[in-house]
């Protein structure tokens, strides 16, 4: 891969933090609405699933779940390629994958009656609800795996190289951590160790977990070491208040670089394992989607037929 191509991929690999925050806020709001809905709807004082209002809520949720199929169709049917950007379709796929189940839960008023345990229970409704919850839950895991692999291995490696260039600001003359050579050595050691562990194509489960733990522990220890070195030098040189303020700004920037670099090295080393996990997730997720669609259609049919 050319250096220009690696730079382009690296720029795409920088995931905007604002989008992550927006997604986190969205999940938090959904969680609060879900919890609040339990206390409002579970007593079935406002409506019941069989009421007109309950029916139309269920219909809206069913249409949302049906709309989820548009994303895989958009990916696989060539003549639909001009209809919007695929990432936009994926975002709406994820949003509907959360709002749809939430609406269905509201429709059920948080009650799932299984025939073996309740005389008025509906087996197909119970199966449809269970499949829907499994699909929604597995979709959350799928999104996590997707974010780990969708930039590709070259994108991950390019991101590591890009941050490394930030660390080596002036080439061989001076680096960001020239005042703390031990930190430089530990950063280089971590990259070498992580790359060696990933040489076989994928990490074993133990090493896969160990890389994550090492990243967290090393990040914490290096930030602490960075703080001690910088403040120790400030005391030795009797920094003024203005110099200390400037040093604190530099500390925060160096802290960001350490965290970004270690996280990028970790993601690059874990890439192939996440790739395999994503393929296994597909094997689990796709049959559940078919089961959910079939049971949902049968549930709608039985409601109107009987």
Higher-scoring residue by pLDDT: 3, 48:
48
* Residue 166 confidence (pLDDT): 60
Cβ neighbours of 52 (radius 10 Å): 8
- As beta bridge partners, residue 170 has 174
Q: Among residues 67, 45, 71, 57, which one has the least CA distance to residue 107?
A: 57
- Please state the pTM of the whole predicted model: 0.64
Q: Quick one: CA torsion of 160, 165, 168, 172, rounded to 10 degrees?
A: 120
Q: What are phi and psi of 117, to 5 degrees?
A: -115, -10
Q: Sorting pLDDT into bands at 50, 70 and 90, what band is 35?
A: very high
Tell me which DSSP letter residue 80 carries. G
What does the pLDDT average to over 243-263? 88
HEC readout, 124-176: HHHHHHHHHHHHHHHHHHHHHHHHHHCCHHHHHHHHHHHHHHHHCCECCCECC
- Per-residue pLDDT of 52-79, as tens digits, reads 898 889 889 888 888 888 888 888 787 7
Longest distance between any two alpha carbons in the chain, whole Å: 85
Q: Choose between 243 and 177: higher pLDDT.
A: 243
Residue 171's φ and ψ, nearest 5 degrees, are 65, -130
Residue 221 reports pLDDT greater than 90: yes
């Amino acid at each position: 891969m050319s250096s220009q191509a690696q730079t382009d991929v690296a720029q795409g690999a920088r995931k905007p933090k604002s989008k992550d925050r927006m997604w986190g806020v969205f999940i938090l709001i959904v969680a609060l609405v879900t919890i609040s809905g339990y206390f409002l709807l579970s007593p079935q004082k406002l409506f019941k699933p069989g009421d007109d209002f309950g029916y139309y809520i269920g219909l809206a949720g069913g249409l949302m779940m049906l709309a989820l199929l548009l994303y895989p169709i958009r990916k696989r049917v060539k003549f639909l390629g001009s209809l919007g950007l695929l990432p936009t379709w994926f975002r709406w796929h994820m949003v509907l994958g959360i709002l749809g189940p939430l609406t269905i839960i509201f429709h059920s008023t948080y009650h799932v009656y299984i025939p073996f345990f309740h005389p008025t229970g509906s087996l197909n409704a119970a199966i449809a609800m269970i499949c829907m919850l499994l699909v929604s839950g597995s979709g959350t895991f799928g999104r996590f795996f997707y974010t780990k692999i969708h930039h590709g291995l070259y994108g991950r490696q390019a991101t590591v190289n890009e941050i490394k260039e930030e660390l080596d600001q002036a080439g061989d003359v001076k680096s960001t951590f020239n005042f703390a050579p031990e930190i430089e050595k530990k950063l280089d050691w971590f990259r070498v160790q992580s790359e060696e562990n990933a040489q076989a194509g994928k990490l074993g489960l133990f090493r896969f977990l160990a890389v994550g733990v090492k990243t967290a522990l090393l990040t914490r220890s290096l930030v602490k070491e960075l703080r001690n070195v910088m403040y120790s030098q400030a005391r030795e040189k009797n920094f003024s208040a203005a110099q200390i303020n400037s040093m604190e700004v530099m500390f925060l920037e160096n802290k960001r670089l350490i965290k970004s670099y270690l996280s990028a090295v970790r993601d690059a080393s874990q890439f192939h394992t996440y790739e395999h996990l994503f393929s296994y997730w597909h094997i689990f997720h796709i049959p559940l989607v078919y089961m959910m669609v079939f049971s949902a259609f049968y549930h709608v049919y039985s409601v109107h037929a009987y």
